[in-house]
Amino acid sequence: MKVTPLRNDFGVMIKPQPMSERWRDLDQAHLQQLIKTKGVVLLRGFDFEIADYEAFTLRFAQKMIPNRETFAIPNGGYRDREDVSGDSLTATVNLHKGPIGWHSEDCHLPTSPHLLFLYCESPPLRGGATLLTDGIEIFSQCDENIRDFLTRHAHLHTWTLPSASVARMLGVALQNVEEAICRLVESLPTGQKLEIEFTTEHIIARFTEPLARITRWSQHKAFCNRLLLYRVLRQAKLREGAASSVVDPTPSEDFEDVLRVIDSLAYLSAYHVHWQSRDLVVFDNTRIMHARAPILDEQRRILIRSCIANF
């Protein structure tokens, strides 16, 4: 395989070398090493059909994570994805066409994935790029005051969900939800906290994640969360799903300035994936944030899968 950098600070592109090289022959340990150290691996020019894409993701997975947005969350009304595999594990991301701000996938949930896999079934004719940016780089580029702010604040997400939805998200039977949550609490990385309240039919979850997180495969702090996305959503007077999210403790009024600085840093360090047919991008969701430019045509068909990693 031929490995070239996407940017000086993160990401690599892998192309078949020789041209006849098949994805199944790629060295798994080497791929894992690249994901751990570079954060993003873009595979371009390989023989990926959808079934190959799915098989590829399973090689890295301790557990695949169902796309919660493919099953409606009652009272949330947020439904953005279409299930294409029948088990919610593979979904499209093109149902709504607007731009999407910087975020880490589902990091407002204690079940958030380590790895995201995006696959290009059909590229857009124009527009519709996916942007990637390195949370470690963003954190290190912030001045000391902002780093200090991020270290002292957390994002607190409160969810009220029907127990049946929680069971589905956790992939367990309804009667095993409590036990699965206990296991989840024990497996949370340092800095995250989960408090649960059970009512007759609902589960209220309070999930805290630090704004400066330690990434899964490094000892570095990263800005990799949904704060910038929520800033956009707030301005558009939207709420996401059934969650309500606040910064804790409540920040002072210069908070907006802090967000503006971080947003600029995110864009300045961004790599734009201009999709080509059968591209497969895998990235560390605890370190790399992603965003999307508006979709301008009907051609774009990007699929998503995500998992808890087996390494």
On whether the CB atoms of residues 11 and 3 are closer than 8 A, the answer is no
Of 1, 34, 93, 107, the one binding ligand AKG (CB under 6 A) is 93
302 binds ligand AKG (CB under 6 A): yes
Q: Angle 153-203-308 (CA atoms, 0-180°, nearest 5)?
A: 65
290 binds ligand AKG (CB under 6 A): yes
On whether the CB atoms of residues 130 and 290 are closer than 8 A, the answer is yes
100 binds ligand AKG (CB under 6 A): yes
**How buried is residue 87: exposed, middle or buried, by Cβ count under 10 Å (0-12/13-18/19+)?**
exposed
106 binds Fe ion (CB under 5 A): no
Site for ligand AKG in 175-234 (CB under 6 A): none
Structure token pair of residue 248: 């804790």
From 35-43, 53-61, 97-105, 231-239, give the range in contact with Fe ion by CB under 5 A: 97-105
Residue 34's beta-bridge partner residues? none
From 30-38, 100-108, 218-226, 270-278, give the range in contact with Fe ion by CB under 5 A: 100-108
Full 3-state SS string of 160-184? EEEHHHHHHHHCCCHHHHHHHHHHH
On whether the CB atoms of residues 233 and 240 are closer than 8 A, the answer is yes
Least distance from C-beta 44 to ligand AKG, angstroms?
16
Contact string (CB under 6 A) for ligand AKG, positions 66-85, x = contact: --------------x-----
Instruction: Kindly determine how many residues on this chain lie close enough to bind ligand AKG according to the rule CB under 6 A.
Output: 8
Least distance from C-beta 100 to Fe ion, angstroms?
6
For ligand AKG, the closer of residues 38 and 290 by Cβ is 290
Of 54, 105, 134, 209, the one binding Fe ion (CB under 5 A) is 105
130 binds ligand AKG (CB under 6 A): yes
12 binds, among ligand AKG, Fe ion, none (CB under 5 to 8 A by kind): none
Closest residue to ligand AKG using C-beta atoms? 130
Least distance from C-beta 10 to Fe ion, angstroms?
18
Q: How far is CA 44 from CA 67, 115, 305, in A?
A: 25, 18, 18
Q: Are strands 12-15 and 40-43 parallel, antiparallel or unpaired?
A: parallel
Phi, psi of 134 (to 5 degrees): -95, 115
Q: Tell me which residue of 13, 263, 35 sits closest to 135, measured CA to CA.
A: 263
Report the interface residues with Fe ion, using CB under 5 A: 105
Report the interface residues with ligand AKG, using CB under 6 A: 80, 93, 100, 105, 130, 290, 292, 302
